[in-house]
Homo-oligomer: A and B are copies of this chain.
Amino acid sequence: MLPVSENSMTIKRTIFYVSDGTGLTAEALGHSLLTQFEDVEFTQVRIPFLDDKAKALDAVERINATGEADGLRPIVFTTLVDQELAAIVHEADAYSLSFFETFLAPLEAELGVKSSHTVGRSHGSADSSDYKNRIEAINYTLAHDDGITDRDLEQADVVLVAVSRCGKTPTSLYLAMQFGLKAANFPLIPEDFERGRLPGTLNRHRSKLFGLTIQPERLANIREERRAGSKYASLANCRYEVAEAEKMMRREGIRWLDSSTKSIEEIATTILQELKLR
């Protein structure tokens, strides 16, 4: 018999992500596993920075109390480097899956070396060059958002172009934050279409250009939420802008993708792939 909640046939389960770091990696993997179970309703709880025995015992208590309240044992995903703390957490009355224990032993065998069992190394320290690159990239990207300036474009790793509200800004910030890439972005506006050329000095940076486009109906919906009833948001205008932008990108030989149904992560990954960055 399947475990079901009192008033419906929906299965409900509580998931804990327990980590001695942020728990973000455990949550990301757990989340992508859980999306494979559409008919189950999950409550997800992250317990980060579990780095001593008292916190481990607290976590066990919390997991057990949740199991009693739910009437079903929780599922616990752990990324705990400290084996003693892991052993305590795995004592909870829960179904536990350890991401580290599952994979570290086979990796040690394959690499022929022991793992260091050091806590909290996955996001890099504030002194690392990786970290400085990210901060510098974020600053650069903010200073080059939405066509603010076309100075220093030779430093850019990528320059996004698109009509207003296609996702240029979130994509640029994600590229900076996640990959440390300097991402500038420029809006394509009716004046550019009338002049029949790219804004500012963009033609000098053609190899870094990447375009976003969008279904006109979707663009009209997004713009309508911002400026209801405006010409800017009208379907006719959105159709015009999208058609002109695509014409311009085709003529200038700019690679582009349709952002309509894509997540920020998917857009960013496609850009890296197409521009052969990293």
Contact = CB atoms under 8 A, between A and B. Distances in A.
A263 B124 contact: yes
Contacts of A173: 138, 173, 177
Interface of A: 2-3, 11, 13, 21-25, 28-29, 31-33, 35-40, 46, 48-49, 75, 79, 81, 95, 97, 99-100, 102-104, 106-107, 110-113, 115-118, 120-127, 131, 134-135, 138-139, 142, 145, 167, 169-170, 173-174, 177-178, 259-266, 268-270, 273, 278
Instruction: Kindly name the residue among A40, A79, A170 whose own CB sees the greatest number of chain B CB atoms within 10 A.
Output: A170
Contacts of A120: 266
B264 A32 contact: no
Query: Within the oligomer, what is the number of copies of this chain?
Result: 2
B25 A125 contact: no
B112 A2 contact: yes
28 contacts: A24-B28, A24-B178, A24-B265, A24-B269, A29-B99, A32-B122, A36-B115, A36-B116, A36-B117, A37-B107, A37-B111, A37-B116, A39-B113, A40-B113, A46-B269, A46-B278, A49-B270, A75-B107, A95-B110, A102-B102, A102-B103, A120-B266, A123-B264, A123-B266, A142-B142, A170-B177, A174-B177, A177-B264
